[in-house]
C-alpha cells in the first residue's frame, strides 16, 4: 500500500467535505433569501398564459387595472390583468410582480376587494359565476401576486408555481 | 438563455465563435468555461454557485477515489464513491424531490426554485466519479478540461448527458475543422427548424385542445398525437442544436435520438429515444446491478428499478413514476412474452403498435395528475359524450394539417437521407443545399420574431 497516496486521498476527501459544508452554508443562506423569484415578469406571464383559456377574457390596460383593482401598475415591476369580456362572466387573471415584499399587503387587499365586488355583483342570480369566484385562487408569494378565477384555476396556479 | 432566441443567435453565439477563433490555443478551453458559466448565469444566476460547488465537490471526489484506488485501499474508494454519490443525490433531491416526499406525509412545502439543468449536470458529474471508480478513465488532471466537461454550454441545460470515459480524449484535443463547423452549423439549423416550425406549432394546437375542456374522441386523439410529435421535435431539436453547437467548437457528441417513431418494439424505441439518458442508466445502474447476466426474476427486477428511476428522473410526481412503470412493463413484456410473436407480424404493424404504446405513455407525461391522464384516455374513447368527431376536431385539424404532415414524414430517416444524397450529387446540388439552409435560417428567424417564446419542454427536468 502506498501511504503517501493514501494520505493524499484522505486530505483530498477532507477538502471535498469542506467544500460540501461551504455549499450547505451558501445554499441555506440563499434559500432563506430566495423567497423572491428570479423569474422575469414576461416569462411568468408567458408560462401562465400558455395554460390559460382567455376566450372569456380580455387584456386590461393600465387604466383598467387602476379602475378595477385600485392599484397603479407603475408602482410595480409589472402587472397583467385579463378581465371578463362581459359583465356576465367571472373569469379573471391577475399577475403582479412586486418591487419588494412590503407591497404584498396592499395587493392582497386589492385582490380581496375586487373578489368581493364580483361576488356581490353575481349574488342571487349567477350561481355558476359565484362558484367560480369561490373556487378562485389567490397566492401572494415573495415578489409575486397571483389571482385566478377560472374553470380550472388549479392548472393556471400550477403553471404560476412552476414558473415562480 | 435558450438557443432559439435572438440574443443567443445574434449576440452570444457570434461573440463566442469569434473569441474562440482569435484567442491563443492554450486559452481556448478557459474561454469555453467562462462562456459556459456566463451562459448559465444568463439563464439562472441565482444558482450558479450550486453548479460551481457541484463541479468542485466532484472534482475533488474524483481525485480522492483515484488516490484510494491507486494506493490499494479499494474499500475506502468504495466508501468515497458511495458518500459522494449520496451527497450529489441529496443536492438533486433537495431541489427536485423535497416537496414530493413531504407531500406523501401530508406536509405542504413550497419547493425551492430548481437550478436549471440540475438533473443533467448531476448525472454528468456522477459519470465522472463512476468512470474513475470503475477504472474506465483516469481523473482529469487539468481542471479547465474538467470544467469544460461539466459546464460546456451546449449541453449544460438539457444534455445530451455525456459519459466522461467516452469523451475524455476530446477534452484535451478538440480541433475545429471546416467540416466539423459546417456540419455543426447544419445540424444547429435543422434543430432550430424542428423546434420553431414543427414543435412550437404542434404545441400551440395541443395547448389549445388541452384548454378547451371536454373533447370529442378524435380531438383527444389529435391532442395526443400533436403532443407526442411536439415532444419529439422539441427535444430532438434541442439535441440537434446542442450537438451542432458542440461540433462548431470541435466536439463530437453521439446522437441523442435516432428516429424513435419508426421503432418496431418498445426496447427498440428506448434505444432510439433520449439515447444518452438510456445509456447512463444502462452503464451506471442496470449493469452494476447485474444487467441481463442473472436469473429471469432478477433481470425483471433490474429492469423495473431502472424504469422507475427513469420515470422519477423526469419529475417528482406519481405521473412520471407511473409512466416509468408503464414503459418498464412494456419492456418486460417485449423481452419475455411478446417478442417471439411480435417478430412474426409485418414490420409496419409492429411500428404502429410501438408508436401507439409510446404515444399512450406521453399522456401521463403531459397530464398534470394521474387522474387527468385517465380523464384524457376516457375522452379518447368517448367519455365526454361529444361523439367521435365534431367542429372542434375539424377546426384544429385543418389548422395544423400543414405542420402535421411534414412532422409525420420527417419521423422517418428516408426524407433526410434523400435530401443529403441529393446535396452531395454535384456542385450545383451543393449550392442548392447551401441556399436551402440559408432560406431555412431566415424562415426560422421570421418564426422566432413573429411568435412568442416557448421554452424547451425538457428544461423543466
CA distance B50 to chain A (A): 7
Q: Which structural domain, as residue segments, surrounds residue A83?
A: 41-163
Rounded Cα distance between B111 and B95, Å, is 7
Concatenating the DSSP letter of every residue in A37-74 gives: ----HHHHHHHHHTT---TTEEE--HHHHHHHH---GG
CA distance B224 to chain A (A): 16
Option in B45, B212, B453 nearest A46 (CB) = B453
Residue B212 touches partner A, C-beta closer than 8 Å: yes
Are residues A60 and A93 both part of a single domain? yes
CA distance B71 to chain A (A): 5
Are residues A68 and A115 both part of a single domain? yes
Option in A9, A26, A164 nearest B64 (CB) = A9
Query: Which set of grid coordinates corresponds to residue A103?
Result: 407591497
Rounded Cα distance between B244 and B20, Å, is 16
Are residues A63 and A134 both part of a single domain? yes
Option in B60, B453, B454 nearest A16 (CB) = B60
Query: Which set of grid coordinates corresponds to residue B145?
Result: 478540461
CB within 8 Å: B57 and A155 = no
Residue A25 touches partner B, C-beta closer than 8 Å: no
Option in B61, B72, B113 nearest A1 (CB) = B72
Are residues A28 and A46 both part of a single domain? no
Mean pLDDT in residue range A64-68: 88
Are residues A51 and A104 both part of a single domain? yes
Residue B211 touches partner A, C-beta closer than 8 Å: yes
Residue B294 touches partner A, C-beta closer than 8 Å: no
Among chain B residues, CA nearest to A18: B57
Residues of chain A contacting residue B73, judged by C-beta atoms under 8 Å apart: 1, 6, 9
Element (H, E) at A141: strand A137-141
Q: Which of B44, B207, B211, B460 to mutate to test the interface with A (most CBs of A within 10 A)?
A: B211
- pTM: predicted TM-score of the whole model, two decimal places: 0.79
Residue A59 touches partner B, C-beta closer than 8 Å: no
CB within 8 Å: A12 and B368 = no
Distances in Å between the Cα of B96 and the Cα atoms of A158, B93, B109, B290, B363 are 15, 5, 12, 28, 22
Element (H, E) at B218: helix B217-248
Residue B453 touches partner A, C-beta closer than 8 Å: yes
> Per-residue pLDDT for chain B (461 aa), expressed as one digit of tens each?
789 889 999 999 999 999 999 999 999 999 999 999 999 999 888 899 999 999 999 999 999 999 999 988 899 999 999 999 999 999 999 999 988 888 888 776 767 778 999 999 999 999 999 999 999 999 999 999 999 999 999 999 988 999 999 999 999 999 999 999 999 999 999 999 999 999 999 998 998 888 777 899 999 999 999 999 999 999 999 999 999 999 999 999 999 999 999 999 999 999 999 999 999 999 999 999 988 888 888 999 999 999 999 999 988 888 899 999 999 999 999 888 888 888 889 999 999 999 999 999 999 988 878 888 999 999 999 988 888 999 999 999 999 999 999 999 999 999 888 888 887 777 788 888 888 899 999 999 888 887 666 667 766 66
Q: Which ipTM score applies to this complex?
A: 0.76
Option in A15, A19, A46 nearest B53 (CB) = A19
Among chain B residues, CA nearest to A54: B211
Pairing of strands A137-141, A78-84: unpaired
CA distance A21 to chain B (A): 10
Are residues A46 and A103 both part of a single domain? yes
C-alpha A19: how far from chain center: 34
Are residues A156 and A118 both part of a single domain? yes
Are residues A7 and A79 both part of a single domain? no
- As for how many domains chain A has, the answer is 2
Residue A40 touches partner B, C-beta closer than 8 Å: no
CB within 8 Å: B57 and A141 = no
Residue B68 touches partner A, C-beta closer than 8 Å: yes
Residue B80 touches partner A, C-beta closer than 8 Å: yes
Catalytic-residue membership of B314: yes
* A-B contacts at Cβ under 8 angstroms: 91
Q: Which of A2, A3, A14, A20 to mutate to test the interface with B (most CBs of B within 10 A)?
A: A20
CB within 8 Å: A9 and B453 = no
Are residues A117 and A151 both part of a single domain? yes
pLDDT value at position B58?
97
CB within 8 Å: B64 and A52 = no
Would you kindly state where each structural domain of chain B is located, as residue ranges?
Answer: 6-174, 180-460
pLDDT value at position B327?
94
Of the candidates B47, B314, B327, B385, the residue annotated as catalytic is: B314
Average pLDDT, chain A: 87
Distances in Å between the Cα of B229 and the Cα atoms of A112, B237, B404, B411 are 42, 11, 8, 9
As a whole number of Å, the CA-based R_g of chain B is 23
How many Cβ atoms sit within 10 Å of the Cβ of residue B208?
18
Residues of chain A contacting residue B63, judged by C-beta atoms under 8 Å apart: 9, 12
Residues of chain A contacting residue B112, judged by C-beta atoms under 8 Å apart: 31, 34
pLDDT at position A34 over 60: no
Residue A32 touches partner B, C-beta closer than 8 Å: no
Amino acid at each position: 500500500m502506498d501511504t503517501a497516496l493514501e494520505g493524499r486521498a484522505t486530505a483530498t476527501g477532507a477538502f471535498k467535505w469542506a467544500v460540501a459544508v461551504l455549499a450547505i452554508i451558501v445554499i441555506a443562506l440563499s434559500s432563506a433569501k430566495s423567497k423572491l423569484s428570479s423569474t422575469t415578469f414576461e416569462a411568468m406571464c408567458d408560462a401562465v398564459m400558455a395554460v390559460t383559456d382567455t376566450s372569456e377574457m380580455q387584456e386590461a390596460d393600465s387604466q383598467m387595472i387602476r379602475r378595477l383593482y385600485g392599484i397603479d401598475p407603475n408602482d410595480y415591476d409589472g402587472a397583467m390583468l385579463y378581465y371578463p369580456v362581459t359583465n356576465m362572466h367571472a373569469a379573471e387573471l391577475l399577475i403582479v410582480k412586486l418591487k419588494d415584499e412590503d407591497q404584498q399587503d396592499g395587493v392582497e387587499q386589492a385582490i380581496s376587494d375586487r373578489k368581493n365586488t364580483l361576488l356581490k355583483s353575481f349574488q342571487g342570480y349567477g350561481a355558476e359565476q359565484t362558484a367560480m369566484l369561490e373556487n378562485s385562487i389567490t397566492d401572494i408569494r415573495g415578489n409575486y401576486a397571483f389571482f385566478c378565477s377560472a374553470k380550472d384555476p388549479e392548472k393556471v396556479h400550477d403553471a404560476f408555481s412552476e414558473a415562480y | 438563455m435558450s438557443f432559439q432566441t435572438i440574443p443567443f443567435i445574434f449576440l452570444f453565439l457570434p461573440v463566442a465563435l469569434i473569441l474562440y477563433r482569435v484567442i491563443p490555443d492554450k486559452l481556448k478551453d478557459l474561454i469555453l468555461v467562462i462562456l459556459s458559466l456566463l451562459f448559465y448565469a444568463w439563464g439562472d444566476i441565482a444558482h450558479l454557485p450550486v453548479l460551481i460547488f457541484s463541479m468542485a465537490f466532484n472534482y475533488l471526489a474524483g481525485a480522492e477515489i483515484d488516490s484510494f484506488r491507486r494506493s490499494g485501499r479499494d474499500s475506502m474508494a468504495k466508501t468515497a464513491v458511495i458518500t459522494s454519490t449520496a451527497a450529489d443525490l441529496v443536492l438533486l433531491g433537495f431541489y427536485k424531490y423535497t416537496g414530493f416526499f413531504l407531500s406523501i406525509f401530508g406536509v405542504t412545502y413550497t419547493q425551492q426554485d430548481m437550478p436549471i439543468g440540475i438533473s443533467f449536470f448531476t448525472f454528468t458529474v456522477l459519470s465522472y466519479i463512476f468512470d474513475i471508480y470503475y477504472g474506465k478513465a483516469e481523473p482529469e488532471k487539468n481542471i479547465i478540461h474538467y470544467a469544460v466537461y461539466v459546464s460546456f454550454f451546449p449541453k449544460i441545460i438539457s444534455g445530451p448527458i455525456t459519459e466522461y470515459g467516452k469523451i475524455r480524449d476530446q477534452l484535451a484535443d478538440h480541433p475545429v475543422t471546416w467540416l466539423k463547423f459546417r456540419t455543426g452549423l447544419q445540424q444547429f439549423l435543422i434543430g432550430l427548424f424542428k423546434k420553431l416550425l414543427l414543435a412550437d406549432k404542434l404545441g400551440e394546437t395541443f395547448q389549445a385542445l388541452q384548454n378547451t375542456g371536454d373533447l370529442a374522441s378524435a380531438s383527444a386523439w389529435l391532442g395526443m398525437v400533436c403532443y407526442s410529435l411536439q415532444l419529439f421535435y422539441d427535444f430532438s431539436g434541442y439535441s440537434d442544436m446542442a450537438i451542432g453547437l458542440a461540433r462548431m467548437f470541435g466536439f463530437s457528441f453521439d446522437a441523442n435520438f435516432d428516429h424513435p417513431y419508426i421503432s418496431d418494439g418498445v426496447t427498440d424505441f428506448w434505444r432510439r429515444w433520449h439515447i444518452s439518458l438510456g445509456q447512463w442508466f444502462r452503464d451506471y445502474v442496470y449493469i452494476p446491478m447485474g444487467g441481463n447476466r442473472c436469473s429471469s426474476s432478477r433481470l425483471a427486477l433490474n429492469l423495473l428499478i431502472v424504469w422507475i428511476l427513469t420515470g422519477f428522473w423526469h419529475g417528482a410526481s406519481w405521473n412520471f413514476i407511473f409512466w416509468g412503470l408503464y414503459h418498464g412493463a412494456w419492456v418486460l413484456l417485449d423481452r419475455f412474452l411478446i417478442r417471439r410473436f411480435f417478430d412474426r407480424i409485418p414490420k409496419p404493424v409492429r411500428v404502429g403498435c410501438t408508436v401507439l404504446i409510446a404515444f399512450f405513455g406521453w399522456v401521463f407525461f403531459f397530464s398534470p395528475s394521474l387522474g387527468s391522464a385517465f380523464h384524457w384516455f376516457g375522452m379518447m374513447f368517448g367519455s365526454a359524450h361529444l361523439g367521435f368527431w365534431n367542429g372542434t376536431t375539424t377546426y384544429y385539424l385543418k389548422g395544423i394539417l400543414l405542420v402535421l404532415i411534414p412532422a409525420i414524414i420527417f419521423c422517418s430517416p428516408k426524407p433526410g437521407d434523400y435530401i443529403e444524397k441529393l446535396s452531395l450529387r454535384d456542385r450545383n446540388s451543393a449550392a442548392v443545399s447551401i441556399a436551402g439552409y440559408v432560406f431555412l435560417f431566415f424562415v426560422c428567424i421570421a418564426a422566432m420574431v413573429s411568435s412568442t417564446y416557448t421554452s424547451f419542454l425538457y428544461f423543466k427536468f
